[in-house]
Structure 1
């Protein structure tokens, strides 16, 4: 495991320990316990800058599912380093800010930081993963953790609505992205992004290339809030302000930008990629900036501002992909200027937008409102906050000398460069790019001025505020001050980032645009003379100032763009409502509450699936039925008895007879296992039948009297057809499987390897506890869950307390004793049964332990032994009563089930101590006093866990059903 793996895992480990640390240090705000993690991560990634700057990427790999090409592979180059620095650096400031924003006496701060750490780890996983499947897993984890953060104030309906909307849209995009990744794998045979970039010839011209591209872009556009998928972001602003400052300005919404930048080397040579990314970004840029001017809520204004800025960066990444249409040279490097602007603005946006979100949080925290119509004149009350807002707003508006001015000028340069592109026949309408950029910049200037001046200047309105405004605490001011200082620093000294951060990121996005050994030229300055860009900026300021002055008078700016009936949000709401209504109606059609109907669905599907498969793939006339062994008279008689007992079940006059006939069929199957020399299966079947019949008899007590009424012919005929169909399908399947073998039987491997590899001569048991031990562990886990579920269903009945749910003999009579009024407390008076039971119980229990001990080499094992032990305990309860069973064997069988599961799981985990895969068993021979040389296998511990679980599960079910009157 490398340092990069640990960097990803650190937030998850701290999240797991967060509640424990909070309990140990209850007087300390949880944020102070959390803040060292992002700070240490930021320091670590800063120390990686020199190595990455020199072109030495850092990678590591942990095998996960090698057979499918899925490994936990991490890769740190210039692009992933840029995002890792933003995630950890902004994360540190956000945690510090949240310590003063969230009151630990009123908020569940422990849960808040758990969610925040989960998100931080997931984002690091996204930007550091080289394997697309691992990247997808972290991608969806960001959606889940952001859902939890947005819904942190879950008592608010708007918070729940915003959280659900964000998850629905981003998870939908994530699933589309996964489909695109699978298509890339189909084309290339690898999930490694680096491997795909290294061999682009495998996918160029493939018919799946365009579908894969569009599906991946769908995931990127939904995550980065591109039009028309942007609608989740404004509603997500119901989250606490630290969440908005972190997720929606610096990290989560940038994940889509990261994906586009990371996969640009794969798709940038295609015109569809260029147009899709560029136009989607431009439309989002203009729409977001226009909507931002209409907002009266400060966070809503910043939300649409974020949408606009994300569109700007997305369009720059699209324009930068134009360099792929040219060979390495000056013409190619001309268009990489757009990528340079995208990378630089990515940093600048995180800085000034993070500061502005924190400023809005301070205003809300100190005044009780974010409504711009109720604010004004706050500069005199909050001078430091005003200074931070001025720097952030001017930077967002693109005014010198702040960092936003530089990246905005580079944006203008990029859109002007694209007008000279002689590819893709763009000459006629390429001018639309700079025009759209200029108009959107005017809107950006206007809402930046609205945010600053309407909040901090103008007439004071203290009567409209919930509390008297004052300056925020120093701890809450420090994070936005740090970001404001960076906005000034990067504005005055932009080349601090040129070759340390920007150039390595560009090299990662355009790996094929440089001659080996050379670097991109990254020089950023305020003045380049009287260029077209500077005149565009002057025009933005002049037009923006006029529009700002007219803002209150122009209804076209203040009123909604469309009527309320024609909005994307309404389309989303109505679509979700229709899906919910339709799914409910469809579900109600087939979920009738009838077990018969559910069995019909299952059996009809089974018949159809098997029948269609046989019809399409098997020639029934070519079956080699003559090779089957002849049936002896004893086998024929046994088969006839089995068939008659099964046929008689539907005609039984009472449930008792039906249970007896069902048991008869089960015991006849046991006889066939004996005939065909399968002792393990025979033992298992006979004990299962014994326990099953007991269980049926216990349930029999709860059922109403069986009444055979004349059923309709249609009812009987449908039952007959389904029964015959299932029987015919399974018979044909068995005959086909026995007569034709397309592959060599795997039984030879198990027969030859069970002793060599697992030290066991009983192949059946070796398969269960060693070769297929993982299957067995999952099976006992399901059994344990089923036992606890049955217990909960019976004991915790709706509308009753735990005490009321217990039978009379289990209730406390107020003197510390149990009442004995229950019928079940009366013991059996069958002297013969008691006499036989005294001997039989001891013999069965001893034989059960013998089966457990010898099962690795002889017929038996933990499962068979456990069922045998359960049968003995059931016999004890039947003969002497459940109270005697509790007295003689005072065991809580639910605890026994849990202990058995723990033993099985810990046995599997123990393999890790020896650097072996999960549930890897071993064996050896040891000299033991009195016993001599004895074979010991670790699989015996696993089998013991199976034994304990099955005993506990069986007795929990039997006693729970049996105790209920």
Structure 2
């Protein structure tokens, strides 16, 4: 229970942020917000011993028990690793933001509310065992990231990037929800743990592949996989602390988490293996290739993030391949799952530090344009050191953690050559070659980022500000992340035993029964030359040559026409949709209430009568109905005459009186059929309606029937006849075939004994339908207040006009 409530600790703290931001003039609000992720990080650290031994922690809070929906805090190796990243990196980002965001210029209250909201959403995603709760938190990440990306909402690019990210990720979320519903239909439960236990049975279901594809759409859109990656570069318009948190360590990894969490369910499908692996390798290559084209520091990091996310995604796909190989624990496939989790941790550390470095450069020089930068190493030595550590780790060079996970990545890609499912074994070789080429470009953009910024000729005349080293407070967070990157290289198995192996056991339960069974030992040198080491040497040589020749071939990017890009396709689609919807809206939104009523009535007639035809629901039976005598027939004749008079009247007064007569006749019918409450209501409504018509008589429009076109009147007649026919058939069919006994007997039996009343109508309104009546009163009250406000507004305007005169 406590662990579930702590999921909402950040958003609960956010309720106090506006108060603190407005009251604490001399203290940065971030110092108070910092306590939230720090305390949560310490709390989750306490689960490490339990999870390392293969244990799990489950906290549950019932939400909608009738539908099997609950809020769950399921902490195993995978969710604990993500929870530590969310709170640990979150704490460093908050610390960094204290020195990055000026409390005198920025709306800190808004920023920290959005950030804490996002923290709760991410914790909910990674700890939810219930798929519906997971979806709710998933969409909350999209909403909060929209607010964070659009934090500087006065900038056009910020609003555009926020909307673009939300459109794509929400689309993926809806697809994912469809996959969850299909899984529920197959397994009869929303619990991911229970679905994992019945994975073999689910794999035989006809809906299995559809669920697989829909879940992957959610994962691919959130983790910026090809072709959905286009939202991530535009999201760089967010403040740098947001980019360092959302787009390197947390939000973009939600899709990776989803694939990792559902791998035990979908690993039985060869489609899952090849689709996840292929899309991951393609994204790895695409992101790394186009990262070298960018001239904005955050743009380079955005495409490098796309590339690294593709790398991890491909490893998760390869880890699922172990399900299909005999003796998988003895093959290289066991390294794929370990490499995915290990590199995920490494990437969070070095990419978080690099984003903060980009923010520092922008903060201290006034620009992120790499064409204006250079020679900053002497002016910003500490920042250069941090950037060098992060960049070399991203390039996969020792002595940094990225080297170790990159070697494991190459091992995982080599293992694909042994796989022959429904695709030829040569397909694995193709993926290996593409991954190697992408690794070369990864090397290039890593060097491109750090050396083009900090070495070469200094260009002070191109900089908006005089470059200098950042304040110590801004350097603490990236420096700590840089130290983590170095420490992972020297003590990789400490991180592996306590964090990586428990997560791997959760991703590959078909291979490992507990974290102790994950027999992967990480080492920088294995005592002999390995194929992975030879591939690394080739990457370094090719990378150095291409980086040295970069000015000669970088212009090749201009060959690609802009009108053929995915961004142009997205823009064209949005413009087409907007203009098309505007044209469609203008075609029927003519401002006439009469037209809108025609649309609504026509739609109702089509839906209701169409449903009755499809379901063969027509039935007519007069059994048990009241007899119709001369009085009823006479009243009906008067009713018809009143309605016809209303339609053909040439004067407004005649139409109003005829309409009132029709209403009073209906009231008399209610009296005859012993419904005094309905009769009283009808009489009151008709009296008030006629009185209102007469009060507004002078302002009513003139009846000009001769100017109307004949076909318009015919259309009205058709719609009116259709509505009348529909209601008549619906009433007779409903009265003639009752699937359930009338509820009136229940009211008769309980109105006195249960509700303590004598008047059955009053008791129904006050007790049985008390909330309905309350809401009706509330609606009437709101309408009355609105009318009163409009009257006062009109009177005040008249008074102002008289004063001017």
User: TM-score higher than 0.5 here?
Assistant: yes
- Is the Cα contact below 8 Å between 1:42 and 1:85 reproduced in 2? yes
Counterpart of 1:325? 324
- Is the Cα contact below 8 Å between 1:15 and 1:118 reproduced in 2? yes
- Is the Cα contact below 8 Å between 2:293 and 2:554 reproduced in 1? no
Q: Secondary structure at the match of 2:99?
A: helix
- Is the Cα contact below 8 Å between 1:61 and 1:72 reproduced in 2? yes
- Is the Cα contact below 8 Å between 2:129 and 2:192 reproduced in 1? yes
Counterpart of 2:724? 727
Structure with bigger RCO (C-alpha 8 Å, 6+ apart):
2
Task: Quote the offset at 1:641 in angstroms.
Answer: 3.0
Post-superposition CA distance 1:662-698 (Å, at most 9, x none): 3333333333333333344334333333443444344
Counterpart of 2:395? 397
- Is the Cα contact below 8 Å between 2:617 and 2:733 reproduced in 1? no
- Is the Cα contact below 8 Å between 1:321 and 1:336 reproduced in 2? no
Task: Quote the offset at 1:109 in angstroms.
Answer: 1.4
Q: Secondary structure at the match of 1:455?
A: helix
Task: Quote the offset at 1:566 in angstroms.
Answer: 1.3
Task: Quote the offset at 1:704 in angstroms.
Answer: 3.4
Q: How does 1:501-516 map to 2 (within 5 A)?
A: 501-515=499-513
Counterpart of 1:658? 655
Give the whole-Å Cα distance in 2 for the aligned partners of 1:199 and 1:585: 50
- Is the Cα contact below 8 Å between 1:378 and 1:457 reproduced in 2? yes
- Residues 31-40 or 515-524, more deviating: 515-524
Q: Secondary structure at the match of 1:380?
A: coil
Counterpart of 1:489? 487
Assess, with a 3 A threshold, how the Cα gap between structure 1 residues 732 and 34 changes in structure 2: closer, same or farther.
Answer: same
- Residues 686-695 or 731-740, more deviating: 686-695
Task: Quote the offset at 1:776 in angstroms.
Answer: 4.6
Task: Quote the offset at 1:329 in angstroms.
Answer: 5.6
* Residue 571, structure 1, aligned to residue 569, structure 2: yes
Q: Secondary structure at the match of 1:330?
A: helix
Assess, with a 3 A threshold, how the Cα gap between structure 1 residues 773 and 305 changes in structure 2: closer, same or farther.
Answer: farther
Assess, with a 3 A threshold, how the Cα gap between structure 1 residues 793 and 813 changes in structure 2: closer, same or farther.
Answer: closer
Task: Quote the offset at 1:790 in angstroms.
Answer: 5.3
> How many residues are treated as equivalent by the alignment?
804
- Is the Cα contact below 8 Å between 1:659 and 1:693 reproduced in 2? yes
Give the whole-Å Cα distance in 2 for the aligned partners of 1:790 and 1:176: 44
* Residue 152, structure 1, aligned to residue 151, structure 2: yes
Counterpart of 2:115? 116
- Is the Cα contact below 8 Å between 1:226 and 1:281 reproduced in 2? yes
Q: How does 1:839-850 map to 2 (within 5 A)?
A: none
Give the whole-Å Cα distance in 2 for the aligned partners of 1:646 and 1:112: 61
Counterpart of 2:370? 372
Q: How does 1:730-741 map to 2 (within 5 A)?
A: 730-741=727-738
Give the whole-Å Cα distance in 1 for the aligned partners of 2:27 and 2:652: 65
- Residues 476-485 or 512-521, more deviating: 512-521
Counterpart of 2:796? 806
Q: Secondary structure at the match of 1:497?
A: helix
Assess, with a 3 A threshold, how the Cα gap between structure 1 residues 554 and 194 changes in structure 2: closer, same or farther.
Answer: same
Counterpart of 1:908? none
Task: Quote the offset at 1:412 in angstroms.
Answer: 1.0
Give the whole-Å Cα distance in 2 for the aligned partners of 1:790 and 1:524: 74
Give the whole-Å Cα distance in 1 for the aligned partners of 2:766 and 2:123: 38
Assess, with a 3 A threshold, how the Cα gap between structure 1 residues 319 and 764 changes in structure 2: closer, same or farther.
Answer: farther
Post-superposition CA distance 1:495-530 (Å, at most 9, x none): 222222112211221223234796322422211122
Query: Which of 620, 624, 627 is 1:623 aligned to?
Result: 620
Counterpart of 2:604? 606
Counterpart of 1:251? 250
Q: How does 1:521-600 map to 2 (within 5 A)?
A: 521-529=519-527, 530-555=529-554, 559-560=557-558, 562-600=560-598
Give the whole-Å Cα distance in 2 for the aligned partners of 1:35 and 1:768: 53
Counterpart of 2:126? 127
Task: Quote the offset at 1:210 in angstroms.
Answer: 1.2
Task: Quote the offset at 1:165 in angstroms.
Answer: 1.2
Q: How does 1:243-282 map to 2 (within 5 A)?
A: 243-282=242-281
Q: How does 1:82-93 map to 2 (within 5 A)?
A: 82-93=81-92
Q: Secondary structure at the match of 1:628?
A: coil
Task: Quote the offset at 1:535 in angstroms.
Answer: 1.5
- Is the Cα contact below 8 Å between 2:60 and 2:71 reproduced in 1? yes
Task: Quote the offset at 1:457 in angstroms.
Answer: 1.4
Assess, with a 3 A threshold, how the Cα gap between structure 1 residues 711 and 378 changes in structure 2: closer, same or farther.
Answer: closer
- Is the Cα contact below 8 Å between 2:341 and 2:504 reproduced in 1? yes
Task: Quote the offset at 1:465 in angstroms.
Answer: 0.7
Q: Secondary structure at the match of 1:72?
A: strand
Give the whole-Å Cα distance in 2 for the aligned partners of 1:257 and 1:546: 33
Q: How does 1:906-917 map to 2 (within 5 A)?
A: none
Assess, with a 3 A threshold, how the Cα gap between structure 1 residues 271 and 699 changes in structure 2: closer, same or farther.
Answer: farther
Task: Quote the offset at 1:791 in angstroms.
Answer: 6.0
Task: Quote the offset at 1:262 in angstroms.
Answer: 0.9
Give the whole-Å Cα distance in 1 for the aligned partners of 2:784 and 2:322: 63
Task: Quote the offset at 1:127 in angstroms.
Answer: 1.3
Give the whole-Å Cα distance in 2 for the aligned partners of 1:457 and 1:719: 78
Counterpart of 1:928? none
TM-score normalised by length of structure 2: 0.94
Assess, with a 3 A threshold, how the Cα gap between structure 1 residues 485 and 515 changes in structure 2: closer, same or farther.
Answer: closer
Task: Quote the offset at 1:745 in angstroms.
Answer: 2.9
Which one has a bigger Cα radius of gyration?
1
Give the whole-Å Cα distance in 2 for the aligned partners of 1:208 and 1:10: 38
Q: Secondary structure at the match of 1:612?
A: helix
Post-superposition CA distance 1:123-153 (Å, at most 9, x none): 1121122222222222122112111111111
Assess, with a 3 A threshold, how the Cα gap between structure 1 residues 452 and 196 changes in structure 2: closer, same or farther.
Answer: same
Task: Quote the offset at 1:738 in angstroms.
Answer: 0.7
- Is the Cα contact below 8 Å between 1:328 and 1:513 reproduced in 2? no
Task: Quote the offset at 1:587 in angstroms.
Answer: 1.6
Counterpart of 1:315? 314
Post-superposition CA distance 1:95-118 (Å, at most 9, x none): 111111111211111111111122
- Is the Cα contact below 8 Å between 1:122 and 1:139 reproduced in 2? yes
Post-superposition CA distance 1:303-322 (Å, at most 9, x none): 00000000000000000000
Give the whole-Å Cα distance in 2 for the aligned partners of 1:522 and 1:792: 73
Give the whole-Å Cα distance in 2 for the aligned partners of 1:634 and 1:86: 81
- Is the Cα contact below 8 Å between 2:394 and 2:402 reproduced in 1? yes
- Is the Cα contact below 8 Å between 1:446 and 1:547 reproduced in 2? yes
Query: Which of 684, 687, 690 is 1:687 aligned to?
Result: 684
What runs of 5+ residues in structure 2 fail to find an aligned partner? none
Q: CA RMSD in A?
A: 2.5
Q: Secondary structure at the match of 2:718?
A: helix
Task: Quote the offset at 1:779 in angstroms.
Answer: 4.5
Q: Secondary structure at the match of 1:295?
A: coil
Task: Quote the offset at 1:706 in angstroms.
Answer: 3.5
* Residue 442, structure 1, aligned to residue 421, structure 2: no
Give the whole-Å Cα distance in 2 for the aligned partners of 1:522 and 1:75: 26
Give the whole-Å Cα distance in 2 for the aligned partners of 1:130 and 1:646: 61
Post-superposition CA distance 1:357-414 (Å, at most 9, x none): 0000000000001111111111111111111111111111111111111111110111
Q: Secondary structure at the match of 2:418?
A: coil
Give the whole-Å Cα distance in 1 for the aligned partners of 2:514 and 2:476: 44
Counterpart of 1:927? none
Post-superposition CA distance 1:207-230 (Å, at most 9, x none): 221122111111111111111111
Assess, with a 3 A threshold, how the Cα gap between structure 1 residues 682 and 127 changes in structure 2: closer, same or farther.
Answer: farther
Post-superposition CA distance 1:770-794 (Å, at most 9, x none): 5445545555555555556656667
Counterpart of 1:842? none
Q: How does 1:882-961 map to 2 (within 5 A)?
A: none
Give the whole-Å Cα distance in 2 for the aligned partners of 1:551 and 1:792: 69
Query: Which of 633, 636, 647 is 1:639 aligned to?
Result: 636
- Is the Cα contact below 8 Å between 1:359 and 1:480 reproduced in 2? yes
- Is the Cα contact below 8 Å between 1:177 and 1:216 reproduced in 2? yes
Give the whole-Å Cα distance in 2 for the aligned partners of 1:32 and 1:11: 14
Task: Quote the offset at 1:567 in angstroms.
Answer: 1.1
Query: Which of 648, 664, 668 is 1:667 aligned to?
Result: 664
- Is the Cα contact below 8 Å between 2:52 and 2:497 reproduced in 1? yes
TM-score normalised by length of structure 1: 0.79
Give the whole-Å Cα distance in 1 for the aligned partners of 2:420 and 2:712: 75
Give the whole-Å Cα distance in 2 for the aligned partners of 1:762 and 1:499: 73
Task: Quote the offset at 1:591 in angstroms.
Answer: 1.6
